[in-house]
Amino acid sequence: MYHHMLIGTNIEPEVSRIENGLSLHFYKLGEGKPRIFITSGIHGDEQTGVYVAEDLLQRLGKMELFGSITILPVANPPAFRCKTRISPLDGLDLNRVFPGNSEGTVTERLAAEIWEQARQADYIIDLHCCEYDCVPYVLALHREFSYVRTFSYKLGIPHIIESTGLRGQLFVEASHEGIPAVIIEMRGSRYIDLQSAVQVREVLLNFLTTLGLVQGRALESKSEFYGRITEIKSPANGVFIPKLLCGAEVNEETLLGEIRGGSKIHSPISGLLVYIEKPAYVFKGDKVAGVAAKLKY
């Protein structure tokens, strides 16, 4: 199938057959602890995450590893093929049905199969892409679970944001089971954003070095923790014009953008501008930006 066409590697995957013509390809490298599990393509339209996973796989395939890593670049093959967030087969969002059900619909069975691998991991990293312009950031239950907080800090992505904790997501269910798990969000949904891809890949390789899974000297990193994202919605229909770049530090009343010829949109809180819409037609109530307040631990 298209898995092999995509991945320019001679590493043989472990194949889990879900049903006729549908299977998951888990690429397993190294052995022993620590055991890392990296997933991408849980949402089929988030291409940059898949690209990072493949790129990592190719690089790690040439290295000596001191521990094991399982990479699942395409976690939702039907959605990936159709470039959709939800499954074209049963209309479900794979990242809402974990831990899955081996007797359920196609998407629930995919989740159950992925969950079997996830349960054996010491760390789980799930790669996703933001539909807006964003800096790479970690989404984690860092307030609820101290082991998640420690893990997210070690990862080395500069911004760590609290998740809403919506159940059924792989990283949320794993976190509740005592496994340190996070999402990394990056720019590049429906296309490959090479700059984000390289940035996230380098951070992940550095994290694996920190763990001792890969040899080399790890760079020191510093991250900041933030609370949940406050969503900012358009007050009117029209053309949204952003006035700031994502990643900016904002204060209450900082101008984020405007609806051309009309309303100005200000930040309701101080913090990090996590994501912002590109110039685009928007309608009243559409999300145009997200801001998260810095936390002190």
Judged by beta carbon, residue 44 or residue 99, the one nearer Zn ion is: 44
Binding span for Zn ion by CB under 5 A among 6-14, 127-135, 204-212, 230-238: 127-135
Judged by beta carbon, residue 95 or residue 210, the one nearer Zn ion is: 95
First to last CA, the chain: 48
Q: Does 43 bind Zn ion (CB under 5 A)?
A: yes
Binding span for Zn ion by CB under 5 A among 39-47, 113-121, 221-229, 232-240: 39-47
How far, CA to CA in Å, does 242 sit from each of 132, 173, 185, 260, 279? Answer: 11, 35, 20, 10, 6
Judged by beta carbon, residue 171 or residue 225, the one nearer Zn ion is: 171
**Under 8 Å between Cβ of 102 and 112:** yes
Judged by beta carbon, residue 90 or residue 122, the one nearer Zn ion is: 90
Token pair 């110039």 is found at 279
Burial label, 156 (beta-carbon count in 10 A; 0-12, 13-18, 19+): buried
Q: Does 149 bind Zn ion (CB under 5 A)?
A: no
Q: Which pair of structure tokens corresponds to residue 263?
A: 């309303």
**Minimal distance, residue 84 CB to Zn ion, in Å:** 12
Judged by beta carbon, residue 43 or residue 159, the one nearer Zn ion is: 43
Residue type, 286: D
Q: Does 35 bind Zn ion (CB under 5 A)?
A: no
Binding span for Zn ion by CB under 5 A among 37-45, 142-150, 152-160, 169-177: 37-45
Binding span for Zn ion by CB under 5 A among 76-84, 128-136, 141-149, 285-293: 128-136
DSSP state of 217: P
Q: Does 128 bind Zn ion (CB under 5 A)?
A: yes
**DSSP state string for 68-106:** EEEEES-S-HHHHHHT-SS-TTT---GGGSTT--TTS-H
Q: Which residues bind Zn ion (CB under 5 A)?
A: 43, 46, 128
